[in-house]
Structure 1
Amino acid sequence: MLTCVHLYVAYRLSMPHIEEMMQECGVFVDHTTIHRWALMILPVLAAAFRRRKRPVGNSWRMDETYVLVGGQWKYLYRAVDRDGATVDFLLTAKRDLATARRFLERAIGQHGLPDKVTIDKSGANTAAVKHIQADTGAPSELRQVKYLNNIVEQDHRAIKRIIRPMLGFQSFRYARILLAGIETMHMIKKGQLDCLDKQVASAADQFYSLAA
C-alpha cells in the first residue's frame, strides 16, 4: 500500500500507470484501490509530517497558483522561505482577503511570525499581511518585489509536474487530501523532515517512516 501511494505522490504517474508497474512486479491491484489507499493513508502521513517538520526561516515568499478541481480552477496558496523550504500550503475555492488571512494564520500557527513577507501585487494578500500586522503588533516587513518571489513561483512548478498526469481532481475533498500528500513528499525531498534516528535515509524511506 505504502509503495503504491509513494509512487503516486512522488512521481509524474497516473493511477493506471502505477497499476501497470505493480503488475510487472507480480502485484495485481486495481487503480481505483490505489486511489482509496491514497485517500485513507495520506491524511495520516501528512499529520505525522507536520509534527516532525523542521523549522523554516523567518523571511517568507507567498504566492498562489491554479489547480483544476471538478472542471473548475481553484487556488493553491503556498509560501516558501528564502532558502526554498516550504512554509505552508492551502487549497481554497476563493482568492480574497479572508482566504489569504486564513492561510497566513495557519502558517504562523505552525512556525510563528515571520520578520518579512514578500508577495506579488495582489490586493488581497497585501491587505491580509497588513491585518496580521495590525492584530499582532509585530513589525513584520511587507515587500512587493517581483524578482524576490521567483523562488516560490519556481517551487510551484515542482507540484504542477506531479499533478499534471492526473488531469485535474474529481472533488475538492480529494484534491485537498492528495495535494497534502504531494506537498508532504515534496518537503521530504527538500530535507524538511526531522529524522528521529538522525541517520541519512532516502526520501522514500523517510516517507514510509511517517507510518511508523
Structure 2
Amino acid sequence: MKRLHYPLDVMLLCVRSYVAYSFSLRNLEEMMAERAIGVDHSTVHRWVIKLLPLFEKMFRKHKRPVAKSWRMDENIKVKGSRSIFIAQWKGRQHHRFSVQSQVDKAAAWRFFEKAIGQIGLPETVTIDKSGSNLAALHAVNAGRETPSKVRQVKYLNKEVEQDHRTTKRRTGPMLGFKDFHCARVILSGIEVMHVIKKGQVKDLGKVPLSAAQQFYSIVS
C-alpha cells in the first residue's frame, strides 16, 4: 500500500461524517482545520470516492439476513440524468438498493435479477404504479417455477418514501453530483450508514456498539 499522507483515522472520520450527517465537503474542511489538520475539500472528496466502495463491500459481510417480503420504490433523481434510487424494504429493514442510469424495464430487470442472485427469491414484491417495474417482475417470474407475488398498490409504499427522506437530507448540502459514478458511490455510502443506524448489522461483540463504533469495527 502506498504511504498515506494523512492518518487513516482522519480519513475514515471524514468519510463517515460525510455520509452520516448533513455536511458539505467544505464543512469537513473547516472541521479538520479546527483540529489543526489542513486538508482541502477536494482531497476529502477523493477519499470518499475511493474508500466508500471498499466499506460497502465489507459491510455486506456483516449484514443481517433479509425478509422474504420486499417493497420497492424509485426515488432520488441524479442531476443531469434519469438516474434513480431503488430500495427493497420490509419492516424498516433494507434489503438492497441501487442507482440506475435509466428508468425502464431493462434497468428494473437487472436490479431484480442481481438482488435475487445475492439474497434469494422474495415471496412478495410490492411496487407502485410503475409500468416498467411491473413488466420487469413479470419477466423475472416467467423464468421461475415459483414466481413471486406482485402487489401494485402505491399506498403500501408510503413508509418507504418516508424512509428515503433521510437520504434526501444528506444530499441537500452536497449541491448535486459531479457525475453518475460519484452519485452511485456516495448514495451507496449514505444508505449503508443509514442501515447501520437502524441496527441491521450482525452482532460485532457482547457490548452494543454505536453506529460510529460499528463503522470503525467493520473497516478495521
TM-score with structure 1 setting the length: 0.94
Q: Does 1:80 align with 2:108?
A: no
- How big is the shift at 1:180? 1.2
In the aligned structure 1, how far is the partner of 2:66 from the partner of 2:195? Answer: 11
Q: Distance in 2 between matches of 1:52 and 1:62?
A: 23
Return the offset for 1:65.
Answer: 1.2
**TM-superposed deviation, 1:44:** 0.5
Amino acid at match of 2:62: R
Residues 198 and 98 (structure 1), Cα distance of their counterparts in 2 relative to 1, 3 Å cut? farther
Decide which of 42, 59, 78 is 2:69's aligned counterpart.
59
Letter in 1 for 2:73: D
Q: Secondary structure at the match of 1:95?
A: coil
For the Cα contact (< 8 Å) 1:195–1:206, is it kept in 2?
A: no
The one-character-per-residue Cα deviations of 1:137-188 (angstroms, maximum 9, x if unpaired) are: 2232110122211121111111111011111100111111111111110110
Residue 45 of structure 1 is matched in structure 2 by 55
Q: Which runs of 5+ in 1 are unaligned?
A: none
The root-mean-square deviation of aligned C-alpha atoms, in Å, is: 1.3
C-alpha displacement of 1:25 = 2.3
Is there any run of 5+ residues in structure 2 with no aligned partner, and where? 1-10
Matched residue type, 2:117: G
Q: Partner of 1:188 in structure 2?
A: 196
Q: Which residue of 45, 49, 53 corresponds with 1:35?
A: 45
- 1:170 equivalent in structure 2: 178
Contact 2:204–2:214, Cα closer than 8 Å, also in 1: no
Residue 129 of structure 2 corresponds to which residue in structure 1? 121
- In 2: Cα distance, 1:73 partner to 1:139 partner: 29
* Residues matched between the structures, number: 210
- Structure 1 contact 65–77 (Cα < 8 Å) conserved: yes
Structure 1 contact 9–182 (Cα < 8 Å) conserved: yes
Question: For 1:79 and 1:9, how far apart are their aligned partners in 2?
Answer: 20
Q: TM-score, normalised by structure 2?
A: 0.91
